[in-house]
Structure 1
């Protein structure tokens, strides 16, 4: 019977708001005398913790998990209603207020939107909510900023300031390959092929990087 209710709610999700869907669910449960009277088996924080656990199993780094958690916790501290009742307008207002209060860039706000979208999409996929309320909030357009490159003079100053050959090797490797600092830190001797002047980098995917 509960599956039938879920099917009805899903079919009506395109024409009803989150609050209207919640009201419809209560009516259906009462009229059909379902045994599942506990509409929200978990608290908002418990839903967040389950999401973080799912992302950890998927292989997200602890830094990424901490960013997810901080983003969701802050949202839950402002929007203090059950997740199933959260509507698109609630999230739009939250993102607008966040940008205004913190005077942050569009890129930062879009990162928050993306994290929340991942959270609500997971809730929808796990059947904890009928439809993600953030689905209608599209990617925020941000201007592309070209980063300035280091001049030859700056590179030489960096090299001259190195007190150990290890530091010099790190500077040269960063400059010649363009790898990230985090990728360099995780690099092991076994990942480097000195004869072919290549190394295997574990970052966002696995890549072969050739020395210049």
Structure 2
């Protein structure tokens, strides 16, 4: 093992040394290695193929509390990489990954955001392999984050919200819209709500966010009225807060909510209406009206305040007013 280690160094240094320097380095290396014990940190991969390692990685992520959607996205993304190569994971190089990302971007016309998301997933996978001693070095370390231009994303205006309310065809859909406007909760949190999670006296409900974190969110009086009206019309015994229109009245899923909002947006002549737009709208309006950013962070269930700042834009009209006030 020592001789292999020494020869690897000598071969890499050979182009930079003359014969005398090469002999001197050989002597120094052999003397130094006599005093140390060298063992191979990498585990034997003969019985572990790439896809077994992937399953082990995903199991580790499940234990860490990653959501089912995240696990599925990890599996799909890494699976594509592994199927595109005939190399073992310990032989995949930085250049292999760079070429893969370049090809993926060209073939799929992928955005910079998509490519950076793939890069982050690869980084997580190869970091785990390095930490578990399946590879010596994470090849993604030398692939830097993809720089993306900041895009100002649209929010819903007060007029938009009124038009959306007017175009809700059912009390259920109106209750969903009101709850999203009032709380800014994630669509996954909304569909997981049960009737028992609501406290109408305090106008609050308990939601379970990412990583199974629990928090309390609050809704206004208008939302309370529409929720009670909706629940009073229900004849089923499903504990879910929102259910389908037809028997057997199953819990409404994420796709169902997104589809209903898209239809309401189409009828309202408002483009790109989706659950997350309500969340971004709430964050922006809360900050514009003076709510401390730390409280907005808690309301949205963000672990990092940077995430809250990413969601919340400052209203350009408010910037103009502030400029006149403070600068003239």
Q: TM-score range by the shorter chain?
A: 0.7 to 0.9
The CA distance in 2 between the partners of 1:121 and 1:108, in whole Å, is 20
The CA distance in 1 between the partners of 2:128 and 2:183, in whole Å, is 37
Say whether 1:158 aligns with 2:180: no
Say whether 1:105 aligns with 2:104: no
Normalising by structure 1, what TM-score?
A: 0.77
DSSP 3-state at the match of 2:52? helix
User: Equivalent residues in 2 for 1:42-191 (5 A)?
Assistant: 42-191=48-197
Q: 1:39 to 1:53 in 2, by over 3 A?
A: closer
Q: How far 1:149 moved relative to its partner?
A: 1.6
Q: How far 1:39 moved relative to its partner?
A: 4.6
The CA distance in 2 between the partners of 1:169 and 1:38, in whole Å, is 57
Q: Output one character per residue of 1:16-74: Cα deviation in whole Å (capped at 9) or x when no partner.
A: 9xxxxxxxxxxxxxxx9x9x995533011111111112212222222111110110011
DSSP 3-state at the match of 1:200? strand
Normalising by structure 2, what TM-score?
A: 0.51
Runs of 4 or more, structure 1, over 6 Å off, are none
DSSP 3-state at the match of 2:206? strand
Q: Output one character per residue of 1:86-121: Cα deviation in whole Å (capped at 9) or x when no partner.
A: 111111111111111111111000110111111111
- For the pair shown, which has the larger CA radius of gyration, 1 or 2? 2
Q: 1:38 to 1:61 in 2, by over 3 A?
A: closer
Instruction: Report the more deviating stretch, 40-49 or 53-62.
Output: 53-62
Which residue, 196, 201, 215 being the options, matches 1:207?
Answer: 215
> For structure 1, which runs of at least 5 residues remain unmatched after alignment?
17-31
DSSP 3-state at the match of 1:207? strand
The CA distance in 2 between the partners of 1:201 and 1:88, in whole Å, is 42
Q: Output one character per residue of 1:140-171: Cα deviation in whole Å (capped at 9) or x when no partner.
A: 11122222122334323332333332221111
- 1:19 matched residue in structure 2: none
